[in-house]
């Protein structure tokens, strides 16, 4: 059966370095993702997305495939309870004149899987929240409204 | 944001988004099938959707594939929907869908 691919793009008024740090720094991810991302970011190393209230619980985990700051990050992506099912998330950061184009390509997904349903709900929220944090200083966890 | 509303204000373009929602990553040829529209018209609508960042294009070898990008729609929703309303609205939306069947 063919694996499914999802592509998400957001434009952020920021710099590639700041977007990169927002994706890889646990202090940043907890502000807009509600989880801390943890890794040493060496290719082959493990990474995980840990719940703030319970760091023993990971929402997702995998290995670092490629890590080229500030342009491209590729991760394998699994649920800790089912590490044999492996998908892949690639983050491409492209500098534009006064903004950054961030593309998240999540591929190698099993069609009609719980993972696919989760990522299709999750990525738009995570990316909107990341954009909000970098442009206004507040992630979506804040009750405040923000500009599009 | 104006570009998103303009792009969504057309039945044909909404149908194209529906088709990508049903099956993501299609070529222009695939999207032309079953569309009551010329190839040129479909290409033009896809261009408007792409400009509004509702459709993203990726090349796989020689194939140009179109993907639905719901991020701008989420940004619009977040502007008027608070964090705590999200679950209640999802429940209402699920109820409406269950009661009305799959019809749109």
Q: Do B71 and A128 touch (CB under 8 A)?
A: yes
What confidence score (pLDDT) does residue B93 get? 81
The minimum CA-CA distance between B74 and chain A, rounded to whole Å, is: 6
Which tens digits make up the pLDDT trace of B7-46? 999 999 999 999 999 999 999 999 999 899 999 999 999 9
Q: In what order do the strands lie in the sheet with A46-51?
A: A4-12, A100-109, A82-95, A72-79, A58-68, A46-51, A35-39
Whole-number Å distance between alpha carbons of A91 and A23: 9
A6 CB neighbours in chain B (<8 A) are 24, 67
Selected residue of B1, B78, B80, B94 to mutate for chain A interface (largest A Cβ count, 10 A): B78
Q: Tens digit of pLDDT for each residue in A58-113?
A: 999 999 999 999 999 999 999 999 999 999 999 999 999 999 999 999 999 999 89
The span from the CA of A33 to the CA of A126, in Å, is 6
The three-state (H, E, C) secondary structure of chain A, written as one string: CCCEEEEEEEEECCCHHHHHHHHHCHHHHHHHCCEEEEECCCCCCEEEEEECCCCCCEEEEEEEEEEECCCEEEEEEEECCEEEEEEEEEEEEEECCCCEEEEEEEEEECCCCHHHHHHHHHHHHHHHHHHHHHHHCCCCCCCCCCCC
ipTM score here?
0.85
Chain A contact set for B25 (CB, 8 A): 4-5, 7
Nearest beta carbon to residue A11 from set B25, B53, B78: B53
Tell me the whole-structure pTM to 2 decimals.
0.87
Q: Name the B residues in 34-53 with CB < 8 Å from any A CB.
A: 53
Establish if B82 touches chain A: CB-CB under 8 angstroms. Answer: yes
């Amino acid at each position: 059966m063919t694996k499914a691919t999802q592509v998400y793009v957001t434009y952020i008024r920021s710099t590639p370095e700041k977007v990169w740090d927002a994706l890889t720094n646990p202090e940043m991810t907890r502000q807009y993702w509600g989880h801390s991302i943890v890794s040493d970011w060496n290719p082959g190393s493990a990474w995980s997305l840990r719940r703030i209230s319970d760091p023993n619980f990971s929402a997702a985990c995998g290995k670092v495939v490629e890590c080229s700051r500030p342009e491209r990050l590729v991760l394998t992506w699994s649920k800790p309870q089912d590490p044999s099912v492996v998908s892949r998330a690639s983050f491409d950061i492209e500098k534009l004149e006064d903004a950054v184009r961030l593309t998240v390509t999540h591929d190698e997904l099993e069609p009609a899987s719980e993972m696919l349903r989760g990522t299709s709900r999750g990525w738009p929220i995570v990316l909107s929240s990341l954009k909000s944090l970098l442009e206004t200083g507040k992630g979506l966890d804040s009750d405040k409204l923000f500009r599009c | 944001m104006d570009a998103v509303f303009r792009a969504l204000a057309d039945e044909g373009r909404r149908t194209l988004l529906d088709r990508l929602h049903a099956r993501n990553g299609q070529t222009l040829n695939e999207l032309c099938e079953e569309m009551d529209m010329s190839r040129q018209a479909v290409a033009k609508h896809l261009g408007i959707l792409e400009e509004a960042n509702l459709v993203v294009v990726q090349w796989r070898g020689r194939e140009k594939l179109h993907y639905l990008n719901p991020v701008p729609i989420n940004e619009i929703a977040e502007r008027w929907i608070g964090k705590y309303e999200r679950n209640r609205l999802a429940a209402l939306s699920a109820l409406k869908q269950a009661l009305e069947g799959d019809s749109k």
